[in-house]
Amino acid sequence: MQKFLFELNRDEEFQARYAEDRRGALVSFDLTAEEQQALIEPDIGLLFHLGVNGQILMHFAALHSIEWQDYLQRMRDGLAVHGPVREGVYAVTGYEGVDAHSRRLGQTSDIEEGD
């Protein structure tokens, strides 16, 4: 999965092929049906749960023009549905988000949180 995303994120020609035929762009990669479906939708939350490195996933989300707070929320939703990140150093610590953190400190913020 990560190898596919690495290749996709850095190659505009590959991105064009993926835009044309998402399933077809995956054929040369060794992927399970679950992984294929997550990449085709794309299911950001499931990909994060499966252990896709956050930086690779962030670039992939940007490729799909997923707005920042929506992107963060999709990861949170993915963990809620599928459980903790399976592997890798990009996980979660229980941080409750910028707004909640600011509220706890008695501060205000204009930042819209996705939740």
**Nearer residue to other proteins within complex by CB, 38 or 71:** 71
Residue 70 and residue 112 in contact, taking contact as beta carbons nearer than 8 Å: no
51 binds other proteins (CB under 8 A): no
Binding piece for other proteins, criterion CB under 8 A, among 22-30, 32-40, 83-91: 83-91
Give the CA diameter of the chain: 52
Least Cβ distance, residue 33 to other proteins (angstroms)? 23
Buried b / exposed e along 9-34 (16+ C-beta atoms within 10 A): beeeeeeeebeeeeeebbeeeebeee
Contacting positions for other proteins (CB under 8 A): 2-3, 6, 9-10, 53-59, 62-63, 65, 68, 72, 75-76, 79, 89-93, 95, 97-98, 101-102, 109-112
